[in-house]
Structure 1
Amino acid sequence: MGGGRGGGRKPYRNVDVEAETVFDAIRKLSMETPRRLFFAHNQVIVLSEKLAREKGIPPLLDFFDRNPQIRRDTWVVVARGNVKEIMDVPSQLEVTPAQRIMGIINNRELSSQFAITRLGDFIEMTEDPGVEPFTAIIEMIPNTAVSHVAFHPGGPGPEPPYDIKLTGTAVFRRDKLAGWLDEREARGLM
């Protein structure tokens, strides 16, 4: 969620809820936030590894496909590891985690090491017999440029201890996450 910048606070707030369905999660979120949830400006959807592997993605995709606010050109990535931790990694260059992820995605043509997919294409791949969906992996990695001095989010200073990176490609078999392609293997997919 976005908001005004003030007094050293982050201009956004990451909120997480647990629910059986996306609709129930949104209902819970609407009770925790004073602002109306609006999805038309979403640029990226981050799917958790656990959900994609264990429960599968059809209920999520159905919600995203039917919601008129969700654009089909929204990017889809799969988080390897904990989504909350990934979204909480501070950045010195971008204001929000989504902007940071989008910056990495927008620089993808400089490296053919991950295959990223837009929501509309991802949905079509799941519905097309003989075609298995795939998209990029995002994960938290140790920052090799880290200093041992404290980091101050939103301001100049030393690097945070972790960074986020698109590290390869998540591949699905039918509706569930089947495995990973590393950066070298992903080149063969593209």
Structure 2
Amino acid sequence: MNSISIKALLIICLLICLTGCWNSMELTEVGFLMGVSLDQTEDGSIELNAQVYSPMETVGGAGAGGGKPPYINIKTVNESLFDAARDLPRYFGRRAQWSHMRIVLIGEQFAKEHDIGEVLDYFYRDHETRLNMLIIITKGKAADYWKQKPFIERSMGQQLRTIIENSANVAGKTNRALLFDTLLKLNSKVKTTMIPYIETTEDQQKSSFSSGAAVISKGKMVDRLTSDDVQKILMLTNEFKLGVIEFPCVDEGSGKNRKKETLEIRSIHTKIGPKFSEKPPTVHMLTKIEGVVGELRCTSITTKKEIKKLENHIKKMVKEDLETQIEHLQEKKADVFGIGNKLYQQDPALWKKWEKDWDDIFADIKFVVDVEVKVQGTGMPLGEKVTEE
């Protein structure tokens, strides 16, 4: 047999393999999971609740299925997450398909008592799950959020995902904790990150809303930050995309009843410069903000002098807020900024020396915060030219 015949035979064999269905699976054999929740039972076991797509409820349009939602909720309990996940087919008769997963909800109690990194490791290793699944910490029991009805989306999994994504991308009041990014940070040298936090309204409608973030250190939840707290931290970690800064009027004195004005942020960047040779170590943070006035209630900005005065006023307020958040994280010994990771990159030998005591070293770091603010516009024609005085 010559070489041409051998090549032709090889090509035919490869074509046969390409057209085969050795790993095919019929749609009627699988159940598509849209989201799961993790809670801790009284005896310490893992309670897994899954929201599974129900195709029969969507056939024929909106009126089909007698008004039932296009999903069902399944619950399993076991000592390990893997075993709890494998038990799902026992309750709905199909093999669980994880490729359409949108979110993983983790109850607050579970997050405080379990290593989240170890739990998420299961999803990371599974070949079906997506690395862009969103991780969320819930106030109270995570399973209760599946009982709510979505406002706009077809499922609560998608509803909660869009709430977090837009809270992060539009309001700047929480962060996006994707599976891959979260595990990357939890496996870094400082092992610290933030995960979005949600809770439920107290009214009869019982709807969910974004409510800041949970601080995760060494795998467990150690603190909860409000939406305003998260906004300032995102500014320092360069994760802030869009949002507004709220500040009191320039010349209204002090007090809680001062009128508030806003600046819509168009651009923000923080440069972090650590100096580990100093004692204590020093970290300089320079935050540059550019934006347009979103709301004026009592401040005049018809001249360059008035605009400069407003910029300095905003600068002072932002600087104080950033310093407050840094001090809070130092009290919690939570290196959300990843300063320890920067030390490891710059000087691995010094990190090895400090690693054991890094939490205490981070708490003693001297942070020097500088802020630059530039008001690019007023958001509307002033009716007169901005003049110099």
Give me the CA root mean square deviation: 1.5
Matches within 5 A, 1:27-176: 27-108=86-167, 109-143=169-203, 161-176=205-220
Q: Which moved more, 1:172-181 or 1:130-139?
A: 130-139
Unaligned runs of 5+ in 2: 1-51, 58-64, 235-389
Offset at 1:34? 1.6
Deviations for 1:14-46, whole angstroms, at most 9, x for unmatched residues?
Answer: 122221111111122121112210111111111
Letter in 1 for 2:218: R
Q: Which moved more, 1:172-181 or 1:98-107?
A: 98-107
Confirm or deny: 8 A CA contact 2:165 2:176 kept in the other structure.
no
In the alignment, does 2:223 pair up with 1:179? yes
- TM-score w.r.t. length of structure 1: 0.85
Confirm or deny: 8 A CA contact 1:21 1:59 kept in the other structure.
no
Matched position secondary structure for 1:41 = coil
Q: Distance in 2 between matches of 1:92 and 1:48?
A: 22
Return closer, same or farther for 1:68/1:43 CA change in 2, 3 Å cut-off.
same
Confirm or deny: 8 A CA contact 1:89 1:163 kept in the other structure.
yes
Identity of aligned residues (%): 22
2:53 matched residue in structure 1:
2
Q: Distance in 2 between matches of 1:106 and 1:129?
A: 27
Matches within 5 A, 1:15-34: 15-34=74-93
Matched position secondary structure for 1:107 = helix
Letter in 1 for 2:182: F
Q: Distance in 1 between matches of 2:101 and 2:230?
A: 26
Which structure has more helix as a fraction of its residues?
2
Q: Distance in 1 between matches of 2:70 and 2:146?
A: 14
Confirm or deny: 8 A CA contact 2:215 2:222 kept in the other structure.
yes
Offset at 1:131? 4.3
Q: Distance in 2 between matches of 1:107 and 1:86?
A: 19
Give the ranges of 4+ consecutive aligned residues of structure 1 lying more than 6 Å apart after TM superposition.
none
Which structure has more strand as a fraction of its residues?
2
Confirm or deny: 8 A CA contact 2:164 2:196 kept in the other structure.
no
Q: Distance in 1 between matches of 2:182 and 2:223?
A: 16
Confirm or deny: 8 A CA contact 2:191 2:219 kept in the other structure.
no
Deviations for 1:75-100, whole angstroms, at most 9, x for unmatched residues?
Answer: 11111111121121113422211121
Letter in 1 for 2:217: R
Q: Distance in 1 between matches of 2:139 and 2:232?
A: 21
Q: Distance in 2 between matches of 1:105 and 1:137?
A: 9
Letter in 1 for 2:154: V
Matched position secondary structure for 1:128 = coil
Offset at 1:106? 3.4
Letter in 2 for 1:181: L
Q: Distance in 2 between matches of 1:182 and 1:106?
A: 17
Confirm or deny: 8 A CA contact 1:133 1:174 kept in the other structure.
no
Deviations for 1:104-155, whole angstroms, at most 9, x for unmatched residues?
Answer: 1332322111122111000001110124021101221134xxxxxxxxxxxx
Say which structure, 1 or 2, has more relative contact order (CA 8 Å, 6+ apart): 1
Offset at 1:179? 1.4
Matched position secondary structure for 1:10 = coil
Q: Distance in 2 between matches of 1:116 and 1:19?
A: 29
Unaligned runs of 5+ in 1: 144-159
- TM-score w.r.t. length of structure 2: 0.43
Matched position secondary structure for 2:53 = coil
Offset at 1:185? 0.6
Return closer, same or farther for 1:131/1:175 CA change in 2, 3 Å cut-off.
closer
Letter in 2 for 1:64: F
